[in-house]
Structure 1
Amino acid sequence: MSDDHTRVQEFFGARAADWDRKFAGDDPAYAAAVAGLGLREGDRVLDAGCGTGRALTPLRAAVGPSGVVVGVDLTPAMLEAAVRAGRDRDGRLLLADVAALPLRSQSLDAVFGAGLVSHLPQPAENLRELARVVRPGGTLALFHPIGRAALAARQGRRVTPDDLRTEPNLRPLLAGSGWHMTSYVDEDDRFLALAVREG
């Protein structure tokens, strides 16, 4: 396992038990972001870096009982917290790395990634791997329940121009990874970038 993976596991592993309680008010923002994906009954969707599975319930509601919901995370403690919360009823949970997904090419209609981009060790390659598993015309939502400035303030730091999530950085990063950005919102109460898989 790489140093990047170890750091991610240590960071999230230490926070898994309190994660849902600490961010309990975020559920409506998750539901609104999932709505932005435009999922239909029967669609197949991946929650990449699913953590404690906060998005699994609205994703299941969007695709219905005939749809497929898969949650992938690198941190065992996060997946264990998802199971304790009963969210494994809404989707299949896999301990896996988004850099090497155990999924067939073009097998999905959409990918949802909450707080994902800033934790990707090789963003261009990792976004290409997400593109691999999505059919042409499928969608990607990169989400955070608060915007970049609000998150930086919460963490006691300032927003910098080299942040991957700025629109001038994210748009070409996605374009070089098989995605076309269709919308970008960075407000205090949410960050949401939507993209379509190029065919």
Structure 2
Amino acid sequence: MTDDRAQVQNFFSARAAEWDSRFPDDGPAYAAAVHELGLRPGDAVLDAGCGTGRALPALRIAVGSGGTVLGADLTPAMLEAALRAGREASGALLLADAARLPLRAGALDAVFAAGLISHLAHPEQGLSELARVVRPGGRLALFHPLGRAALAARHGRVLSDDDLRSEPRLTPLLAESGWRLDSYADEDSRFLALAVRTG
């Protein structure tokens, strides 16, 4: 395992048991973001970096019983927390690196990714891998229940245009990775960038 992957696993392993209780009010924000992804009944969707699986119930509602919902995460402790919360009832859980997914090309209609981009060691490579597994015209949601300014304040940092999630950085990064930015919202109460798979 690379040092970058080990760092991510160590960070989330130490926090997995208390993760949901630390952020108990995020459910409606997740559901609203999933709604904006525009899923249809029968679609196949991946929650990349699913953590404790908080988006999985909303994703299941969106695609219905005939759809496919997958949750992939690099950290076993986060997937164990998802199991304890009963979220495997909404989707299959996979222990997998979002930058190297065990899925065939074009297998999915969409990807939902909450907080993932800042944990990718190589963001362009990771976003390219997400593009690989989504059909042309499929969609990507990069989400966080806090906007950039609120998140920077929570962590005691100054907001910077160098942030991967700033629109001037994100737009070309997505374009180089097989995506076209379709909409961008950065508010105190949420961050949501929606992109369409090109090609």
Common topology (TM > 0.5)? yes
1:120 maps to 120
1:150 maps to 150
Classify the secondary structure of the residue corresponding to 1:140.
strand
- Per-residue deviation, residues 56-107 of structure 1 (Å, max 9, x unmatched): 0000000000000000000000000000000001000000001110001000
**Contiguous gaps of at least 5 residues in structure 2:** none
**CA positional deviation for 1:32:** 0.3
**CA positional deviation for 1:167:** 0.1
Residue identity in the other structure for 1:176: E
2:94 and 2:66 map into 1 onto residues whose CA distance is 19
2:61 maps to 61
**Contiguous gaps of at least 5 residues in structure 1:** none
**CA positional deviation for 1:156:** 1.1
After the TM superposition, list the runs of 4 or more consecutive aligned residues in structure 1 that deviate by more than 3 angstroms: none
TM-score normalised by length of structure 1: 0.99
Residue identity in the other structure for 1:132: R
Classify the secondary structure of the residue corresponding to 1:32.
helix
1:99 and 1:187 map into 2 onto residues whose CA distance is 28
The RMSD of aligned alpha carbons is 0.4
- Per-residue deviation, residues 139-182 of structure 1 (Å, max 9, x unmatched): 00000001011011111111112110000000000000000000
Residue identity in the other structure for 2:159: V
Please show how residues 123-134 of structure 1 align to structure 2 within 5 Å. 123-134=123-134
Residue identity in the other structure for 2:130: L
Count of aligned positions: 199
2:189 maps to 189
Please show how residues 1-199 of structure 1 align to structure 2 within 5 Å. 1-199=1-199
1:155 and 1:18 map into 2 onto residues whose CA distance is 18
- Per-residue deviation, residues 32-73 of structure 1 (Å, max 9, x unmatched): 000011000000000000000000000000000000000000
Residue identity in the other structure for 2:60: R
Residue identity in the other structure for 2:15: R
2:142 and 2:161 map into 1 onto residues whose CA distance is 19
Classify the secondary structure of the residue corresponding to 1:24.
coil
1:108 and 1:161 map into 2 onto residues whose CA distance is 32
TM-score normalised by length of structure 2: 0.99
- Per-residue deviation, residues 96-146 of structure 1 (Å, max 9, x unmatched): 001110001000000000001100000001100000000000000000001
